[in-house]
Amino acid sequence: MGKVIYLTSGSRAKIEEKPEVRKAGGVYYTPTYIVDYIVKNTVGKLVEGKKPGPRGGVSKLRILDPACGSGSFLIGAYQYLLDWHRDQYIQDDPEKWAKGKTPRLYHSPSVGWRLTTDERKRILINNIFGVDIDPQAVEVTKLSLLLKVLEGEDEQSIGKQMTLFQERVLPDLTNNIKCGNSLIGLDFYDQQQMNVFDEEDIYKVNVFDWETEFAEVMKDGGFDVVIGNPPYVRQEGLRDSKAYFEKCFSVYHGIADLYVYFIEKGISLLKQGGLFSYIVANKWLRANYGRPLRLWLKEKNIFEIIDFGDQPVFKQAKTYPCILGIQKKAPDPTFRAVAIKTFDFKDLQTYINQNGYDVRQNTLNEDGWSLVDQYAQNLLDKLTKTGVPLGEYIDKKIYRGVLTGLNEAFIIDNATRERLITEDARSREIIKPFLAGRDIKRYMPLHNEKHLILFPRGFTNAKFSGNSGQWNWLKQQYPAIAAHLESFKEKAEKRHDKGDYWWELRACDYYGEFEKPKIMFPDISLRGNFALDDQGGRYCANTAYMIPNSEKYLLGILNSSLITFYYKNMLSKYRGGYLRFFYQYLVLLPIRVIEFNNPDDKIFHSQIVGLVDQMLNLNKKFAEAKIPQTKEALKRQIETTDKQIDQLVYQLYGLKDDEIKIVESEVQ
């Protein structure tokens, strides 16, 4: 499915990934237990209470996968229907269904009661439908379904049934499984616009008119079930399709990945009361590009969201998937949510039944959905009302670290720094302490092994007024640094993000903020991980951020378990439970403002600042300690002080005992 075999000019066979696979980053096949769960909770729900047979309600059930690939979801749905019909016939009266002009059952000595080939064909033609843009995928799906028709049959029984019914064994699936672009319809069929697509595009224009191709189904209101695993294609691969998506999809966002449009299309193909269930990336829950989708879905009847977080559902890919279930009807007040925290279970359905909880749909924030139970949601709401957003508290001043475009030239180690300063003392003015995200640890003293050579954009022109000879001037002013940089000239000139000259860094309005005392933190961490640069002057890489605010009170609040709890419930965790600290979420953190005319507030402030001072001092001693027993004793003191800060923060935000338990059960 993911590769093509062709002959070279030398008559040798060559195997390559298909262009769409190369661009999409891979084809990911859905694990069987996911397919089974989705089928059982869509197809299974709709067959409950219905009768089998050509006149039963199930005969008109239409099941669709609009991006069927090799057909795993359709095969799963087909198998479910085969088993259901067989069991229903047996439960009713197997002998009755084995007789008559068109028997539905027959008895095999080796396996017992089985559906006849004719019945298996009838179910396939009536119930199973699929579309895929890849013609090879369509043929694979057809073949897989046809093999399923004959599965378990021997040559003698097939021949017997052919004689009995006087018709071909295998059905024609032309009207069931079709090739086309599920997302782009006839309204885009304009020859001039078609010309902007070349044959190497991931999703070549292969327009598909649902009203024509499935006229009977669409005339009847749509499909009863839409299931699948739409392609994982990033927005960079969509290219010119975006113009169409913007015009025709309510969920459009300029950087939305392809699955977002498959969600809207799939739900739009449902008939009233129909069920939709996809496994897709969970980024839409909180990413900026998911905002239009969240707004659109909030008006739908969500019946479940199963978030796998960082669990490796797809073994060969770092995807973070979720199962999204929708029924086409007016929305209910709540839906079922589950956060899958382990794969240590025998059955997914049982795990979901035991760990699921209700989420109030009207509490979902358009800036990002936090799938928590009612008790946790009440606590989050309380925290939001108690504090002001961090962005407001610090006047939106959160800055990312420096991007040089050529670290090998501008980032140097201690030895190089010492050499350059020894060669020319003025080098000290230009070389700045430089921290990567991994160098910044909670309450720990900041220690850097690297340094930044900083000529910001505008530096040269501000110091040198001539029209030419800038490099010679720089060599005279800073000879050691110029000698170091000169060997990187060719690479530095090729940067897209350089300053006015190749030796300068890109423009940045906040270089001066690095010189001030500030709070610094890495962009990836297991929890709140904030440190204090109390003297100022330290710079950081783009794997870290800084807040030009050195309040020890704020440092204590940000490092508290309460704020980590709040942040954990704002965004998806990454593999290993790591959090990404992004500006758009950080600015929402609720910071309790101290009213200094309130005596109680003044006491809280004083106590927190005192304990933060103690934490900073203890961590400094811990970093300097050499004796293991001393480090262990300091570690215990640090843990005790940390808990004391947490307790004060709980009191400051007005938490009760049961609310504290919610926080501490999630933040270890």
The full length of the chain comes to 668
Nearest to 624 by CA among 447, 469, 367: 447
Token match 């800060």: residue? 645
Domain boundaries, the chain: 24-371, 399-590
pLDDT at 102 over 90: no
CATH architecture of the domain with residue range 24-371: 3-Layer(aba) Sandwich (3.40)
Nearest to 182 by CA among 110, 131, 124, 143: 131
Question: 3-state class of 325 per DSSP?
Answer: strand
Q: What is the C-alpha to C-alpha distance for residues 15 and 315, in angstroms, rounded to an integer?
A: 23
pLDDT at 25 over 60: no
State which H helix or E strand residue 6 sits in. Answer: strand 3-7
Non-local CB neighbours of 117 within 8 Å, separated by 6+ positions: 149, 150, 153, 158, 161, 169
Q: What are phi and psi of 391, to 5 degrees?
A: -55, -40
Nearest to 457 by CA among 522, 503, 488, 420: 503
- Cβ neighbours around 551 below 10 Å, total: 20
Say which residue, 8 or 196, is predicted with more confidence: 8
Q: Is 526 exposed, middle or buried (0-12, 13-18, 19+ CB in 10 A)?
A: middle
Beta bridge partners of 323: 279, 306
Token match 């961490």: residue? 525
**pLDDT on residue 388:** 96
- What the block records as the tokens of 551 is 């309040």
**pLDDT on residue 163:** 46
Half-sphere exposure (Cβ direction) of 565: Cα atoms closer than 13 Å = 25
166: pLDDT confidence band, cut at 50, 70 and 90? very low
Question: How far is C-alpha 132 from the chain's CA centre?
Answer: 24
Question: 3-state class of 64 per DSSP?
Answer: strand
Q: What is the C-alpha to C-alpha distance for residues 609 and 552, in angstroms, rounded to an integer?
A: 6
Helical H runs in 128-179?
135-150, 155-165
Q: What are phi and psi of 434, to 5 degrees?
A: -135, 130
pLDDT at 161 over 70: no
Q: What is the C-alpha to C-alpha distance for residues 648 and 646, in angstroms, rounded to an integer?
A: 5
Beta bridge partners of 15: 5
Q: What is the C-alpha to C-alpha distance for residues 147 and 140, in angstroms, rounded to an integer?
A: 10
484-507: pLDDT as tens digits: 999 999 999 999 889 999 999 999
111-135: pLDDT as tens digits: 889 999 999 999 999 999 999 999 9
- What the block records as the tokens of 119 is 């019945």
**pLDDT on residue 664:** 93
Q: What are phi and psi of 582, to 5 degrees?
A: -105, 145
The DSSP-derived string for 18-61 is -HHHHHHT---PPPHHHHHHHHHTTHHHHHTT---STTSGGGG-
For the chain, the C-alpha Rg in angstroms (whole number) is 32
pLDDT at 199 over 70: no
**pLDDT on residue 467:** 81
Non-local CB neighbours of 7 within 8 Å, separated by 6+ positions: 13, 14
Residue range 337-363: average pLDDT? 90
- What the block records as the tokens of 182 is 């599920």
Q: What is the C-alpha to C-alpha distance for residues 622 and 562, in angstroms, rounded to an integer?
A: 25
Residue range 18-24: average pLDDT? 45
Calculate ∠ Cα 476-481-485, nearest 5°: 110
Residue range 430-451: average pLDDT? 96
- What the block records as the tokens of 635 is 């570690």
